[in-house]
Amino acid sequence: MHNFADYIDINDEVLDALRFDKPIVALESTIISHGMPYPDNIKTALEVEDTVIQNGAVPATIAIINGRIKIGLTSEEIEYLASSKDVTKVSRRDIPHIIALNASGATTVASTMIFARMAGIKLFATGGIGGVHRGAEKSFDISADLTELAQTSVAVVCAGVKSILDIGLTLEKLETLGVPVIGYKTEEFPSFYTRSSGFGVDCTANDPIECAKILKAKWDLNLDGGVVLANPVPKEYEANSDVISTAIEKALDEANRNNIRGKHVTPFLLAKVKELTVGESLETNIALIKNNAEIAAKIAVEYNKL
């Protein structure tokens, strides 16, 4: 029987937190390598870790570096992910070859969930999850994040799905997969850059204690799989929905014209939206991930008490 511990390096702080049952929040690394320009990416990564610490939990940023799964990164490793061009975006399907070939990869929502579960971490903060792409009825382009949520028992605090996606179909798919979608202090599912989408959530939780109780009930009953904790961007950082919608339409049109497909679509669209909104979307993106890290840490603290 092979042990996945052979492939993992857990840094001392995270190891200490696991040993002494302290609250931990997993953080992904795609946002560092593919989600933001340098040096905003490294600055944000360090600020997000700091936010987790300030709210009583231990941050565990996750990546693959030279074929090793890293649970908790040094500032040098974050710098490497932020500035290197040799970092692959890694979802579930990419993990074996990236590890076998001693390559480096930044983890998506799906792969971060997988590694968090291996390490025994229950809470994960990200910007937005992947979902069903617009036009998926022809392209079948559906993010592996959704199938991961169906089977991997990690709760994901996010600002909904990126508004470049088909939000209605994403929620339908989550329902089919049996993934609870909980609105944090909201009855409406947020759409990443903005607080509203016109779609509802399965239930509303009004504080970190309620969230923690829902997670405990789910996993105590052996209902495997994740939970989406949808946490809207703070009002003062919300982007203008008309500006964002127009930018998304233009970006999607350009992606279609240039035949951009698969895992290249999301980074392309996000970069294009940032360019078209003169950075407004980047400011919103940074604010919402910090906000998600804060709420995830507070939930992790309460979950640990249970």
Q: What is the pTM of this model?
A: 0.94
Is pLDDT at 194 greater than 80 in this prediction?
yes
The residue among 99, 94, 111, 95 whose CA lies nearest residue 27 is 111
d(CA 251, CA 264): 13
What would the mean pLDDT of 230-252 be, rounded to a whole number? 91
Contact 225, 179 (CB under 8 A): yes
User: Which position among 28, 49, 148, 280 bears the catalytic label?
Assistant: 28
Q: What is the pLDDT of residues 40-85, one digit of tens each?
A: 999 999 999 999 999 999 999 999 999 999 999 999 999 999 999 8
The larger pLDDT score, comparing residue 137 to residue 190, is at 190
User: Which position among 89, 162, 173, 272 bears the catalytic label?
Assistant: 162
Q: 56: left (phi > 0), else alpha (psi -120 to 50), else beta?
A: left
Is pLDDT at 188 greater than 70 in this prediction?
yes
Tell me the three state secondary structure of residue 165: strand
Please state, for a pLDDT cut of 90, what percent of the chain lies above it: 77
Tell me the three state secondary structure of residue 80: helix
Is pLDDT at 168 greater than 60 in this prediction?
yes
Please state, for a pLDDT cut of 70, what percent of the chain lies above it: 99
* Per-residue confidence (pLDDT) for residue 261, from 0 to 100: 80
What would the mean pLDDT of 170-198 be, rounded to a whole number? 97
What would the mean pLDDT of 129-156 be, rounded to a whole number? 94
The DSSP call for residue 238 is P
- The parent domain of residue 10 ranges over 4-305
Q: Report the domain count for the chain.
A: 1
The DSSP call for residue 235 is G
Kindly report the CATH number assigned to the domain that includes residue 70.
3.40.1790.10
Contact 48, 42 (CB under 8 A): no
Q: What is the pLDDT of residues 245-293, one digit of tens each?
A: 898 889 888 988 998 887 788 778 878 888 888 778 888 999 999 999 9
Contact 154, 124 (CB under 8 A): yes
User: Omega into 39 within 30° of 0, i.e. cis?
Assistant: yes
Which stretches within the chain are classed as H helix? 12-19, 30, 40-54, 75-83, 95-100, 109-119, 136-139, 144-151, 167-176, 208-220, 241-257, 265-276, 280-305
Active-site residue, 173 included: no
Mean predicted lDDT score pLDDT of the chain: 94
Active-site residue, 162 included: yes
Q: What is the pLDDT of residues 1-29, one digit of tens each?
A: 467 889 999 999 999 999 999 999 999 99
Lowest-confidence region among 48-52, 192-196, 296-300:
192-196
pLDDT tier at 196, thresholds 50, 70, 90: very high
* Per-residue confidence (pLDDT) for residue 2, from 0 to 100: 64
